[in-house]
Structures are given as C-alpha cells and as structure tokens.
Amino acid sequence: MEYFTLNTNEKIPVIGEGTFLFTPDEAESAVLTALEQGYRLIDTANYYMNEKAVGRAMKKSSLKRPEIYLSTKLWPSEYEQASQAIDETLERLGTDYLDLLFLHQPVGNYLAAYQAMIEAVAAGKVKSLGLSNFSQNKIGELIEKTGVAPAVVQVEAHPYANQTALKEFLAPYNTKVMAWFPLGHGDKSLLNEQLFSDLAAKYHKTNVQIILRWHTQVGNIVIPGSKNPVHIAENLDIFDFELSPPELAEIKKLDVNKTYYVQTEEKLNEYLHLKQDYSQQK
C-alpha cells in the first residue's frame, strides 16, 4: 500500500473501498473482503445508509481500529445539529473517532457544521476534515472564515476531468483530492481508450488498473467501489508498476473537462430537505 501525508500530518492510503449505493449486506461483505485483501481505507456516508454495516465489517476483520482509515460524511439536513450528528455517526460506526469527516454537499448551514467539525477535531473525535462536492469559491469561503483548510476535497475526477484548476487552488494548503467516479462513471469510451489498452498490454494490467494507477501517480486518493471480490482484488493490484512521465503526459491530453454529475441549485435544495432516519440503519 502507498500513502499520502495530509496537511494534518496524518497518513492516508492512496486507494480505498467506496460503498456508495451499497445495501447494508453488500457493504458489510465488500468492506470485509476489502480489508482481508489489503485495503486500509474505507469510505462511507450518512446518506449511504450503510454505516452500521461498515462498522460490523471492521469489527469482523482481524484488523485493529488504528490499522483502518475510516472516512464518512455528514448530510446537509444534519448541519444545524452537526455536533449531535457527529456523535450519532460515531455510534453507528461503532468507533470513538473518525479519521476523516466530510461535509457531503455545499448547501444549508455548512459554515456552522464546519465549525462543529473543527471542534470535534479538538475533542479527539475527528482527525482530519474534508469537503465533498464543494466549489473552489465555497472552499475558499470556509478557509477564510475559519482559518482551517480541509485536508481532503472529494470531487468527481478521472482522465476526462483532471480537476487541474481546483488542484492548483488547493496546492498551497496541501489539500488532497479524493476522486469519485474515478472511472468516469463506467463510460466505455473512457475505459476503452486506445491509450489505456496499449498501456494495459505493456504492463500486463487491465485498462481499469491503468486508470487507477494514473490517479495515484498524479496525487489523487481514489475510492472505487466494487461488490465483486475479483474486482476488489484487481483494483488494489496496481503497485507493482509505474507509468512513465511521458505516459502520464499522454493521459493528461485526454482531459476535456467532461463530468458526468451536474450539480444544480434545484438538486442542492432537494438535498437540504431530504431527511433520513439514520437510526433505522441495519
């Protein structure tokens, strides 16, 4: 496993198992499989409704809590009561601290929630702070008002959308990017790019493994989510080769600033009013 060092001096694995759209049973099985196969980063969220299952998998594994890097996210409807939401999140996950806590969406009273997260760091409940789906302007706003830069920004990133401008903005803060939709939402035109096929043949890897290795080499933390044990193992098998600087430069040429998720004010307002009973998680 390779690691990045965050601006909090915490080390984070460069690749982890994501659990977006996983049912509790699927999340428990996939996380346990991932941990057994060598993963050390697990990403979940209040909104995914599988935190309890992730916690069970962690306990069923042979690993001790400090060996696992755990990341989750607060949902906007929880921002007004963020301190309480953090305690309830810890309870669902069955842990007394989080390695990384994100605000999931940039809507509602995110400033108050970020302040509560800063207080949670001081209290030892959270080690590093993150922002998910926040624009550069809103990230700058939170840094200016609190004096605390996030350790990680989670955003859609892949070879068709390098997020170059955002990464340049974050560089002075040593804030890392965590990529979701790291494979372009499964876009076959991306996955089957001839360049990736040629590199896969050269390094005896799959096109997916080439893309995931590209992510880690350009400084992205990546969280592909798979329920298939074979794919979970393949996604991690990317550390026995390195793409050369000329190869990385060729991949960079694929960037056309194409994203698959479009964030609108209408969607954000829906997120703000979408409430869930997290106590009903299984």
- Locate all alpha helices (DSSP H) within 98-205, ordered by sequence: 110-122, 136-146, 164-170, 188-191, 194-203
Residue 222 confidence (pLDDT): 98
Q: What is the CA radius of gyration of the chain?
A: 18
In 3D space, the residue among 39, 100, 50 whose CA is nearest the CA of residue 73 turns out to be: 100
Residue 279 confidence (pLDDT): 85
Eight-state DSSP code of residue 151: S
pLDDT at 265 exceeding the cut of 90 = no
Annotated catalytic sites, by residue?
48
Confidence of residue 150 (pLDDT cuts 50, 70, 90): very high
Q: Are 6 and 12 in contact (CB under 8 A)?
A: yes
**What predicted TM-score, i.e. pTM, was given to this entire model?**
0.96
Sign of the dihedral through C-alpha 28, 29, 31, 35:
positive
Per-residue pLDDT tens over the stretch 231-253:
999 999 999 999 999 999 999 99
Residue 275 confidence (pLDDT): 86
When pLDDT is averaged across residues 188-217 and rounded to a whole number, the result is 98
**51-60 and 24-37 helices cross at what angle (nearest 10)?**
40
Q: Is 171 exposed, middle or buried (0-12, 13-18, 19+ CB in 10 A)?
A: exposed
In 3D space, the residue among 44, 52, 39, 55 whose CA is nearest the CA of residue 20 turns out to be: 44
Residue 272 confidence (pLDDT): 87
Residue 235 confidence (pLDDT): 98
Which residues on neighbouring strands pair with residue 3, listed in sequence order? 13
When pLDDT is averaged across residues 148-172 and rounded to a whole number, the result is 98
Question: How big is the CA angle at 260 (ends 200 and 137), to the nearest 5 degrees?
Answer: 115
Residue 238 confidence (pLDDT): 98
Q: Are 205 and 253 in contact (CB under 8 A)?
A: no
Name the token pair of 245: 């600087």
Q: What is the mean pLDDT of the chain?
A: 97
In 3D space, the residue among 43, 263, 231, 229 whose CA is nearest the CA of residue 135 turns out to be: 263
Q: Is 195 exposed, middle or buried (0-12, 13-18, 19+ CB in 10 A)?
A: middle
Name the token pair of 267: 């969607």
Least reliable range by pLDDT among 35-44, 72-81, 170-179, 272-281: 272-281
CA pair distance 234, 231, nearest whole angstrom? 5
The residues, any chain, with a CB within 8 Å of residue 228's CB and separated by 6 or more, are none
pLDDT at 263 exceeding the cut of 90 = no
Per-residue pLDDT tens over the stretch 172-194:
999 999 999 999 999 999 999 99
Least reliable range by pLDDT among 95-99, 155-159, 266-270: 266-270
Per-residue pLDDT tens over the stretch 68-84:
999 999 999 999 999 99
Q: Are 101 and 51 in contact (CB under 8 A)?
A: no
